[in-house]
Structure 1
Amino acid sequence: MGWITTIVDWVTGLMQAIGGPGVFLAILLENVFPPIPSEVILPLAGFTAAGPDAPYGPVEAILWATAGSLTGAFLLYGLGAVIGAERLRWIAEKMPLVDARDVDASIDWFTRYGTVAVLIGRLVPGVRSLISIPAGIDRMPLAKFAAFTALGSVIWNTALVVAGYLLGDNWHAVSDWMDRFSIVVYAVLVLALVALTGWLVRRALLRRGVRRRSASGADGSGRAGTDDAH
Structure 2
Amino acid sequence: MENWITEVMNTYGYIGILLLIALENIFPPIPSEVILTFGGFMTTTSTMSIFGVIAVSTIGSVVGAIVLYGIGLLIDVNRLEKIVDKWGHILRLTSKDINKANAWFHKFGVWAVFLGRLVPLVRSLISIPAGMAHMNFGVFLLFTTVGSLIWNSILVCVGAAVGDSWGTIVGYMDTYSNMVLLLLVVLFVVFILLFIKNRKNRINRHSK
TM-score normalized with structure 2 length: 0.93
Compare CA radii of gyration and give the structure with the larger one: 1
Aligned with residue 61 of structure 1, among 53, 71, 74: 53
Q: Is contact 1:32–1:75 with CA below 8 Å preserved after alignment? A: yes
Deviation at 1:163, TM superposition (A): 0.6
Deviation at 1:55, TM superposition (A): 4.8
Q: Is contact 1:119–1:151 with CA below 8 Å preserved after alignment? A: yes
In the alignment, is residue 139 of structure 1 matched against residue 134 of structure 2?
yes
Aligned with residue 92 of structure 1, among 76, 84, 93: 84
1:38-77 correspondence runs (5 A): 38-51=32-45, 54-77=46-69
Deviation at 1:92, TM superposition (A): 2.5
In the alignment, is residue 206 of structure 1 matched against residue 198 of structure 2?
no
Range 145-154 or range 37-46, more displaced:
37-46
Deviation at 1:49, TM superposition (A): 1.9
In structure 1, distance between residues paired with 2:6 and 2:175: 23
Range 204-213 or range 33-42, more displaced:
204-213
> Could you tell me which amino acid in structure 2 is paired with residue 26 of structure 1?
L
Deviation at 1:138, TM superposition (A): 0.9
Structure 2, unmatched stretches of 5+, are: none
Deviation at 1:154, TM superposition (A): 0.4
In structure 2, distance between residues paired with 1:117 and 1:129: 12
1:147-185: CA deviation from partner (whole Å, max 9, x where unpaired): 100000000000001111111110012111112222221
In the alignment, is residue 122 of structure 1 matched against residue 117 of structure 2?
yes
In structure 2, distance between residues paired with 1:70 and 1:88: 25
In the alignment, is residue 188 of structure 1 matched against residue 183 of structure 2?
yes
The alignment partner of 1:34 has SS state of coil
TM-score normalized with structure 1 length: 0.85
In structure 2, distance between residues paired with 1:89 and 1:104: 8
Residue of structure 1 in register with 2:167 after alignment:
172
Give the paired residue count: 205
In structure 2, distance between residues paired with 1:84 and 1:142: 15
In the alignment, is residue 28 of structure 1 matched against residue 4 of structure 2?
no
% identical equivalent positions: 39
Q: Is contact 1:97–1:200 with CA below 8 Å preserved after alignment? A: no
In structure 2, distance between residues paired with 1:159 and 1:38: 12
In structure 1, distance between residues paired with 2:31 and 2:18: 14
Higher relative contact order (CA 8 A, sep 6+): 2
In the alignment, is residue 101 of structure 1 matched against residue 101 of structure 2?
no
Alignment CA distance shift 1:32-1:130 (3 Å): same
The alignment partner of 2:93 has SS state of coil
1:22-78: CA deviation from partner (whole Å, max 9, x where unpaired): 000110110000011111111011112211xx1521111111100100000000000
Deviation at 1:91, TM superposition (A): 2.4
Deviation at 1:211, TM superposition (A): 4.7
Aligned with residue 79 of structure 1, among 68, 71, 81: 71
In structure 2, distance between residues paired with 1:114 and 1:208: 30
In the alignment, is residue 151 of structure 1 matched against residue 182 of structure 2?
no
